[in-house]
Structure 1
Amino acid sequence: MTSFNSKKSLRRVSFISLSFLFISSLFIQGCKTGTKGIESGSNTTLEASINQGRNVFENSCAACHSFERDGIGPNLAGLTRHLSTEEIIDFISNPKKVIDSGNKRAVNLQKKYKSVMPSYSMLGKEKLASLVSFIHTYKDVPKPVDINEEGILEDPIPHQIEKSNFVVNLEFSFQIPASNEELPNTRITKLWGQPNTNEIYVCDINGKLYRVKNNKPEVYMDVQALMPNFKQRSGWATGFGSFAFHPDFENNGLLYTTHTEPIGTKNADYTLPEGLSGQLQWIVQEWKTDNPKGKTFKGSNRELFRIDMATQAHGMQNIDFNPTAQKGDKDYGKLYIGIGDGGAVQMKFPEVANGKHSPWGSILRIDPTGTNSANGMYGIPSDNPFVNITGEKVAKEVYANGFRNPHRFSWTNTGKMISANIGQHNIEAVYVIKPGANHGWPTREGTFGINTQESVRKIYKLTEEEMKDGVTYPTLEYDHDEGNAVCGGFVYTGSNIPSLTGMYIFGDILKGKLYYADESQMEAGRAIDFKEMRIALDGKETTLLEMTNNGHAKLRIGKDANGDIYLFSMNDGKVYQLVSEK
């Protein structure tokens, strides 16, 4: 077991979701109705309501707010001193209506946090009222929000992204069955094409891996059923995270998955520093099928790697093999693992994302068939960038570091590795990855600086001298005027859309925008321009937000073995192929 120690102490911080992004300060300056009704009833009834609210808080939200400090969203403490239960419930049920009404506080917070949450009326008034009861247990009043606070760049990247002069047509391909009764109906996150069979595989965070042939999805594996400690929290990036088939799967039958389990389920290979407790563990699992040609999985499995995470955010979002590596190449059969900082930086533990000394905030590279790791369950390749360092403690699995959340990575036909990195409050970025490179987090967000001891939402413009710090800066970046969470993609290598040939296609998860950049111009540390792609469905120009009919598009991007690109959303499970241009 490996541990990283610190003398810092920490009070447990809970986070609330983007779905409650503006609640905390919405009426603080203008409303004085207070908390009437919250403390009525017996102590037993109130305690039950608070417990239910705590569950709603933890299970239905993402890591954006706390009761101690501002984060992606504002501090929630003290909210119920200024808002009645009914007012808070009304806002959660229809936030856009409150913002559109011209409420000054709502408009200012929208400008500051640059996101509008969808309606969460489906939670129902009982659950929302219990959520308010729980929030009421944190009574300290937060500092009023000032969008002109010193140190905050209101518009870090002033210029707007230009739109394409052509339109790409989408065509509906198939739909993954719903795994939730409420939105999002499916939680599909990755689509991959098997090169030898032309089959498509899609994973749902709730536990199922689907095999799709002739546009008909069937369950290939149910990770939740096979892993008894499987843990998935609604609204969080937890559960069944990713999958990767070994490049020699048709012969060795090996594939790999990631999933989450409760903290302490087993001893972790990497534990958090002293004073920082964890909420869950991410696990890399190896599976060996009895029949590589079988329609469903049947076989054995073993655990390779387990790591503790501070929160349920920024976890193990992607694993993959380099598809351009051939047998005999050093990169053939090496498994890449993207691990975020787990929210530790926002919790004032920046040392967790500590370059070569720590696996968090990194892309790891391992040999799943080797045995020279500390636990003996996998190998550390001899050509990893930090493998020969002596005299200091390093995580020799690290291939590249300095990421908040290396959400998706892929390779070009020439072997160039590209990774998206979801930002904190201001900048979304895409990097060309080189072994051993540091990409800046937590002291950098894109090409901007951060003082981690103040607030991770404050960024400042770097001087020329500061830019010579050895950090590998992004080749593509945009700020939160354009989007809120970058979705990594792929280079288009299909044959039906000439204007996209050789273009790296990526997008924004929440706003659903699609972008493309000339891959041949993308180099490590070299910033280039890119454009927004216009799309059409059934002959009518549209957007993914319109298509998914929700406040957040929840976009993901996939690629099949023929080089064609697919778009899909958690909201409805529908998968669309980019088929032509006009």
Structure 2
Amino acid sequence: MTTFRKVTVAVVLMMTALWTPPAFARAEPTPVDDPIPEKPTPSGLTLTLEEFASFPKSETIPEPIDQRLVRWARINYLDQVPDGSGRLYANDLNGKLYLLDKSRQPREYLDVATTFAPDFVSGRGLGSGFGFAAFHPDFARNGKLYTVHTEWGNALTTKTPDLPAQAGTKFHGVITEWTATDPKAGVFSGTRREVLRLGFFGQIHGIQQIGFRPAARRGDKDYGLLYVAAGDGATGVSSDDPQNLAIPQGKILRINPIVSTGKYGVPSDNPFVGRPGALGEIYAHGMRDPHRFSWDGQRLLLGHIGEHAIEAVYDVGPGDNLGWSEREGSFVYNKADRCKLYTLPDDDASFGYTYPVAAYDHDPPPGHPCTADSGHAIVGGFVYRGAKLPLLYGKYLFGDIVDGQVFYTVASEMKEESGQRATIYKPRLVDATGKQITMQDLAGSTRVDLRFGQDGAGELYALSKANGKIWKVTKAVMTPPGVLPSFRPNLVAAYDFEHPLPGDPAKEQDQGLSGTNLSLVNGGAAMRVRDGAYRGSTNALETKQVEPATTGNDDWKAGVYQDTGVQSLRAFNAVKGTTVMGWFKMLGEGPALNSNTPDPADRFNAIGLAGILSGDSQGHDVRSLLELITVNGELRVVALARRVDGGSSQTFAANLPWQQILPRDQWVFLAATFDFDNGTMRLFKNGRPLAGTYTVAGDPWAVEGAPEPDLTSATDPRGIKIGGSYPQNTREQNPCDCRMDGLMFLDRAASPIEILAQYELMRRR
């Protein structure tokens, strides 16, 4: 990903050199009142949080001036000791490192505050104290772990930073290596040595985190290398320190903490090694407060706390420049006008800045001083890759430190090269009893001081300093509004046409489990019309034939298509059944005139509604489909499906004339269920079954004699089609002059009573 990003910038620079727009065409940056108007989207994903551990009360050193530091226990992180023991560890900023075994009872392992007294300080600045701990990946053999703490007092005159310190340094951030005599012991005993000491001007934005890349294995170039997130010492707001490659502040550093000579080594493949005037330790730069980072495989995802308005997640690669303090997020930051952010200049690409893959803004209340703390700060989290919560898989869980809001994005959508920020969703939180709660409820405070942790199996935890407790995420289920509870675990894809993709209104966000966003083909955002079909709905999707007398790909339809298969629709692979349902309103007479033939009176023989493509579909063949087709010379509402890719299809046609089922200009709730194991299909109108007949004799699904159970092909569907054929828009066929709303695709056959209940749940009163 990083390589792609650099190549793209290089191409832009080359093009800029070859062609420059006229001076009069250039747009100067202009102030922005609401940098990110889109707000986190309420999600149907519900997370259950169960209390996991509680820590003993602790006190700051010295007594704090800032009352925000008065917490029960300032637990800052949770992770697992990489020695196979299953032990977890957590640090308290006030000075102690705890281990937790299966009993979940915190037991003191190491007292950092006492070791470094009287220089140790945790009562000045929100990040001061024992900030972080990281166990070496080979801890089981070498017994090494690393900590970060802050010092002041005599340390400022008796100890010298290893890299250039900021003028007027008031605090030191210190990384220490500890070597345990017995790595299996429950209490530390061994030796220590100082690895790196940095000098910071401010009491905030010091060394926020250290860590090793978990996926690196022995022999990898990244194995055993320590990443160090160093803030700007609160000077970036008025200086260029984060952009200055000669100093370490406002950077992520990458070092080798274990070397035969010296305190640490500088990896030869660091991006600035050998550059005159630059520190070889630097991995990436241009940061204000790089608060929390984590890895998703090779990707380093960073939660970066902003200054004026922007809280952001970055995908950080070697050599990246996040832009601070020339940029805040993807906006211009003007040191002379701290009350506004500005749009980017026309020549922005020439600077090569890296921009967020997800972000939200502060939205301060009216009258709030523009330079005052608005009470928001992002805390980075983790992409869930565990095995116990499949509905959370592939989602990046993070939140807001202060008010404790919990958010997530879909990791596969966090791509800088797309030029768009990923959608931020806000899941529902419930406790072990199922009662809806907030993190403020769990923390017992409006200031949550939220953090996240992860164990060796990838399971996730939420932490609060307010009451010193940790909760584990134990369940993840989908509960989209207006969906029958029994449908929620099987709702692979759902579209209500109320959720345009931020930055691309020609796409509709999936409200189901798969995250398969839908393209609104040819008509784009204009295809959303104000005509809600059911209670709570505002918009519907309009599809239509645009120019019937002209052959061309211009009709309005929707869908998604990939000739290699759509992996996010994998839930439809090797299943016993499916369901397609939604609200439909016919606008035209139908079927549409056939624009592919010279006969002006010729019409298509079908009207496309909605369906799931087969794993070998050219855009027309389906695994499950609800539509109107000609049966024995008459147009009928049908359910049509093929169980096996390349196999024969079966059709179940409703007996009633289609105009009685779908009267013109009336909303109707249609559903089709497909039971491949039993070889049956059913149709429903407004929750009631429709009588019908099968049109193909024999055994077209080849269920006779097949191994039990009878499943669909184990191949990724090539997509979804809505309002016609060929969602990849290679040709026109079977357009629907109609409107659709509340479309749902399930990976099982719904029962008749469920179909009726869903209709009753949605219909207008």
When normalised by structure 1's length, the TM-score is 0.70
1:477 shift after superposition: 0.6
**Distance of 2:174 and 2:415 partners within structure 1:** 32
1:473 counterpart (332, 335, 355): 355
**Distance of 1:458 and 1:285 partners within structure 2:** 40
Structure 2 residue aligned with 1:365: 254
1:443 shift after superposition: 0.6
Where does 1:5-404 land on structure 2 (aligned, <5 Å)?
A: 153-180=32-59, 183-195=70-82, 196-214=84-102, 215-228=104-117, 229-262=119-152, 263-272=156-165, 276-346=167-237, 348=238, 350-370=239-259, 376-389=262-275, 392-404=276-288
| Structure 1 residue matching 2:141: 3-state secondary structure | helix
Supply the AA of the counterpart residue of 1:422.
I
Structure 2 residue aligned with 1:576: 471
**Distance of 1:456 and 1:340 partners within structure 2:** 19
Structure 1 residue aligned with 2:428: 534
Contact 2:236 2:324 in 1 (8 A): no
**Distance of 1:422 and 1:512 partners within structure 2:** 15
What is the RMSD computed on CA atoms of the aligned residues?
Answer: 1.9
Choose 230-239 or 540-549, whichever is displaced more: 230-239
Supply the AA of the counterpart residue of 2:135.
F
Structure 2 residue aligned with 1:119: none
Structure 2 residue aligned with 1:451: 334
**Distance of 1:464 and 1:549 partners within structure 2:** 48
**Distance of 2:427 and 2:474 partners within structure 1:** 14
**Higher helix fraction: Structure 1 or Structure 2?**
1
Contact 2:403 2:447 in 1 (8 A): yes
1:227 shift after superposition: 1.5
Could you say which structure has the greater relative contact order, defined with CA pairs below 8 angstroms and 6 or more residues apart?
1
Structure 2 residue aligned with 1:89: none
1:420 counterpart (296, 303, 311): 303
**Distance of 1:297 and 1:524 partners within structure 2:** 43
Contact 2:30 2:343 in 1 (8 A): no
Structure 1 residues 534-568: Cα deviation after superposition (integer angstroms, max 9, x where no partner): 11113111111222232211100000011110001
| Structure 1 residue matching 2:258: 3-state secondary structure | coil
Distance 1:180 1:154, change over 3 A: farther
Contact 2:383 2:397 in 1 (8 A): yes
**Distance of 1:525 and 1:344 partners within structure 2:** 30
Contact 1:151 1:458 in 2 (8 A): no
Structure 2 residue aligned with 1:66: none
1:352 shift after superposition: 1.9
1:525 shift after superposition: 5.1
Structure 1 residue aligned with 2:410: 518
Structure 2 residue aligned with 1:137: none
Contact 1:432 1:525 in 2 (8 A): no
**Distance of 1:187 and 1:245 partners within structure 2:** 20
1:234 shift after superposition: 4.6
Choose 540-549 or 403-412, whichever is displaced more: 540-549
Choose 283-292 or 227-236, whichever is displaced more: 227-236
Structure 1 residue aligned with 2:728: none
| Structure 2 residue matching 1:520: 3-state secondary structure | helix
Contact 2:33 2:340 in 1 (8 A): no
Contact 2:164 2:248 in 1 (8 A): no
| Structure 1 residue matching 2:291: 3-state secondary structure | coil
2:401 counterpart (504, 509, 515): 509
| Structure 2 residue matching 1:547: 3-state secondary structure | helix
Contact 2:169 2:200 in 1 (8 A): yes
**Distance of 2:31 and 2:400 partners within structure 1:** 23
Distance 1:265 1:352, change over 3 A: farther
1:205 shift after superposition: 0.4
1:365 shift after superposition: 0.3
**Distance of 1:371 and 1:401 partners within structure 2:** 28
Distance 1:440 1:501, change over 3 A: same
Structure 1 residues 152-208: Cα deviation after superposition (integer angstroms, max 9, x where no partner): 643211122111113111111110111139841111111111241111100000000
Structure 1 residue aligned with 2:530: none
1:354 shift after superposition: 2.3
| Structure 1 residue matching 2:114: 3-state secondary structure | helix
Contact 2:243 2:323 in 1 (8 A): no
Structure 2 residue aligned with 1:47: none
Larger radius of gyration: 2
| Structure 1 residue matching 2:240: 3-state secondary structure | helix
Say if 2:273 is the partner of 1:406: no
1:532 shift after superposition: 1.1
1:371 shift after superposition: 5.6
Contact 1:240 1:258 in 2 (8 A): yes
Contact 2:76 2:92 in 1 (8 A): yes
Contact 1:420 1:486 in 2 (8 A): yes
Contact 1:431 1:525 in 2 (8 A): no
Contact 2:77 2:463 in 1 (8 A): no
**Distance of 1:509 and 1:233 partners within structure 2:** 19
| Structure 1 residue matching 2:140: 3-state secondary structure | helix
Supply the AA of the counterpart residue of 1:236.
L
Contact 1:211 1:219 in 2 (8 A): yes
1:396 shift after superposition: 0.7
Contact 1:475 1:525 in 2 (8 A): no
Distance 1:561 1:457, change over 3 A: farther
Structure 1 residues 483-542: Cα deviation after superposition (integer angstroms, max 9, x where no partner): 710001111122232221011111110121111111122234542212112111131111
2:319 counterpart (419, 432, 436): 436
Calculate percent identity across the aligned residue pairs.
Answer: 39
Supply the AA of the counterpart residue of 2:126.
W
| Structure 2 residue matching 1:269: 3-state secondary structure | coil
1:355 shift after superposition: 4.3
- State the number of aligned residues: 422
**Distance of 1:499 and 1:307 partners within structure 2:** 42
When normalised by structure 2's length, the TM-score is 0.54
**Distance of 1:153 and 1:265 partners within structure 2:** 47
Distance 1:365 1:169, change over 3 A: same
Distance 1:366 1:456, change over 3 A: farther
Contact 2:382 2:398 in 1 (8 A): yes
1:484 counterpart (376, 381, 390): 376
1:469 shift after superposition: 2.1
Structure 1 residue aligned with 2:554: none
**Higher strand fraction: Structure 1 or Structure 2?**
2
| Structure 1 residue matching 2:440: 3-state secondary structure | helix
Structure 1 residues 275-313: Cα deviation after superposition (integer angstroms, max 9, x where no partner): x30111111111101000000100000011111100100
Distance 1:525 1:451, change over 3 A: farther
Choose 213-222 or 518-527, whichever is displaced more: 518-527
